[in-house]
Amino acid sequence: MNKGIRYAPINYTSVLPPKNESLKPEVSWNYEVGLNQPLVAGLNLDVAAFILKGEDLIEAVPVPGRVPPVQFQNKGSFLFKGIEAGVELRRGPWRSNLGYTLTDFGAKTRARAGSKLDVSAGATLAKLDLDVSFQHVARYFAADSSLSAIPTYSTFDLRAGYGILSWLGVFASVENLLDRQYDAFVDLPGTQAGLYRMPGRSFTLGLNLEKR
């Protein structure tokens, strides 16, 4: 059990156009119970259930006649409930993870995905690292009270790295490997909040420097 306090950042009270100098801090209580259990050598199970209760949640609220027509305000209480489960396997050079999160946000579903599945697998072979990851997002809405459903989507990412020297490595990655077209909700202050088309397949090349 723990208590959290989030004070309104200065851009919410003094900088951004929807600013509100009278914002109160968000206060939350989190209650969680979980189990972390090795099943066999190299295989570990992690399960947790949680309840998050709070009040004075800070949100951008429509205010007709105002410029811009929104303002940051404390919007009452909230109650989130969820379950998280994960399985991790490590055997020799191989590794894999499977994780699932199911969350009930009550009426406050705007921009919050209620179901996430993450799967990854990889290996370290001498100086070469290989990883592939998968994510599936569902129960995703662009409005509160589970309105304006956003289509579910799945993505694959691929990454490879190679150690050239003890302090120098190179890597290459491909995000959205299958070039899926999908939308995500970006909750920006004011009228810019809404659905945005996410990038298609993208490539990254880089160096890793590590001082020892």
pLDDT tens for 81-134 read 999 999 999 999 999 999 999 999 999 898 899 999 999 999 999 999 999 999
Q: Which helix (H) or strand (E) holds 10?
A: helix 10-10
Domain finish residue from 34, 56, 84: 84
Same domain for 108 and 68, yes or no, is: no
Q: Structural domain tally of the chain?
A: 2
pLDDT given for residue 189 in this prediction: 57
User: Residues in the chain with pLDDT < 50?
Assistant: none
pTM of the model: 0.83
The torsion angles phi and psi of 190, rounded to 5 degrees, stand at 85, -150
How many other CB atoms are there within 10 angstroms of residue 96's CB atom? 17
What is the reported pLDDT for 191? 53
Q: Tell me what pLDDT residue 6 has.
A: 92
Alpha-carbon separation of residue 209 from 70, 158, 165, 168, 171 (angstroms) = 45, 21, 10, 5, 11
Same domain, 27 and 50: yes
pLDDT of residue 211: 79
Give me the domain span that covers residue 48: 1-84
Residue 105 CB burial class (10 angstroms; 0-12, 13-18, ≥19): buried
